[in-house]
Amino acid sequence: MDRRQFLISSATGAAALAAASVPVSCSSGTSKKSGAVPLRISFQEGIAPREELNAKLDYMESLGVVGFEPGGRGLAQRVNEIEQALRGRNISVSAICAGFDGFILSSDPAVKAEFDASFKDILAAAGQLGSTGVIMVPAFNGQEPCLPHTQATRDYLCEQLHELGEYALKCGTSVILEPLNRRECFFMRLVSDAAAICRDSQSEGIRCMGDFWHMQEETSDYAAFISAGDCLRHVHIAGRGDRKMPGETPDVDNYVDGFRALKEMNYKYFVSFECGSEGDREQTVPAAVELMRSQWERA
């Protein structure tokens, strides 16, 4: 059984177990037996200060980075390239970052159809690559034409996500909802907002994430992650002052409270860099990795 088959059968098994214990929920049980929860660091494709994919992966390996987060655009055409580049390495594909056309809440059937087709293509490729899931925002503020924000639209969103989540499970992966903030997505601005949509979508294939940059409206990083419980499938990290490299705004780049929740939850997925850098990446990237490790240790 190769890795992909394992993931597919695991996902199928998980789905079967879930079906046997309805209702689907984001149970937020924590465990105090979490002494050795490893920090699994991932980089988006633009983070490593190298040009070519293999050079980026060599660099990541030298820092002990174990996850790679490519963009979703054109992913189906890149499956072979990425598989080849990862062969024999201790790096796996973490999440896939968006890259689809259209959006799920569009009121224009043609735009919705574009979304359905392109997102399913990315899900299939994500499954082939053993990815944890594909990141999506259902609608950004100002994205038009959009269904009105009503109860009926929320019900529709959950129905559509249910269908997509079941498709994702068949592909051996998931859909990962990314909460933002009120300026970018007013109806999904807290990790718990996304977790509630996961619960109401009634599919194990609908999961969510937290992004330390977007989590500015949370009253507690700790409570935000705990609220997602088993639905938490991915985390993004960036400097909290200006979305640069963690450590470049040292007064505010504190992740300990959130990391403490991840450790208590026995979080087993990735914490992935999604950020720019003010300084020389040859210095700022290794320093950020070191900062994350020391704060994880303290958490």
Stretch that binds Mg ion, among 55-63, 144-152, 209-217, 251-259 (CB under 5 A): 209-217
- The residue among 28 and 181 lying less far from Mg ion, judged by its C-beta, is 181
Is residue 69 near Mg ion by the rule CB under 5 A?
Answer: no
Cβ atoms of 244 and 275 within 8 Å: the answer is yes
- Count, residues near Mg ion per rule CB under 5 A: 3
75: which DSSP letter? G
Stretch that binds Mg ion, among 62-70, 143-151, 210-218, 280-288 (CB under 5 A): 210-218
CB of 187 to Mg ion, least distance (A): 17
Helix axis angle for 3-20 and 109-128, nearest 10°, is 120
What strand order describes the sheet that includes 175-177?
92-93, 67-69, 41-44, 271-273, 232-237, 206-211, 175-177, 133-136, 95-97
CB of 292 to Mg ion, least distance (A): 16
Is residue 253 near Mg ion by the rule CB under 5 A?
Answer: no
CB of 245 to Mg ion, least distance (A): 15
Sign, CA dihedral 195-201-202-207, equals: negative
- The residue among 234 and 260 lying less far from Mg ion, judged by its C-beta, is 234
CB of 176 to Mg ion, least distance (A): 10
- The residue among 42 and 173 lying less far from Mg ion, judged by its C-beta, is 42
Side-chain-side CA neighbours of residue 14 (13 Å): 20
Residue appearing with tokens 């994350």: 292
CB of 184 to Mg ion, least distance (A): 10
Binders of Mg ion in range 153-192 (CB under 5 A) = none
The tokens describing 70, both together, are 């490519």
Side-chain-side CA neighbours of residue 130 (13 Å): 18
211 - beta bridge partners?
A: 236
Q: Which of 69, 116, 211, 253 binds Mg ion (CB under 5 A)?
A: 211
Stretch that binds Mg ion, among 2-10, 112-120, 138-146, 206-214 (CB under 5 A): 206-214
Stretch that binds Mg ion, among 43-51, 197-205, 243-251, 273-281 (CB under 5 A): 273-281
CB of 53 to Mg ion, least distance (A): 21
**3-class state of residue 241 by DSSP:** coil
- The residue among 147 and 275 lying less far from Mg ion, judged by its C-beta, is 275
23: which DSSP letter? S
Residues 6+ positions from 35 with CB-CB distance below 8 Å: none
CA distances, 214 to each of 62, 76, 81, 114, 221 (Å): 29, 29, 32, 27, 11
Stretch that binds Mg ion, among 103-111, 140-148, 205-213, 261-269 (CB under 5 A): 205-213
Q: Which of 189, 199, 236, 240 binds Mg ion (CB under 5 A)?
A: 236
Is residue 274 near Mg ion by the rule CB under 5 A?
Answer: yes
- The residue among 45 and 81 lying less far from Mg ion, judged by its C-beta, is 45
Single-letter code of the amino acid located at 1: M
Find the Cα–Cα–Cα–Cα dihedral 222, 238, 101, 156, rounded to 10°: 10
- Summarize as ranges the residues that interact with Mg ion (CB under 5 A): 211, 236, 274
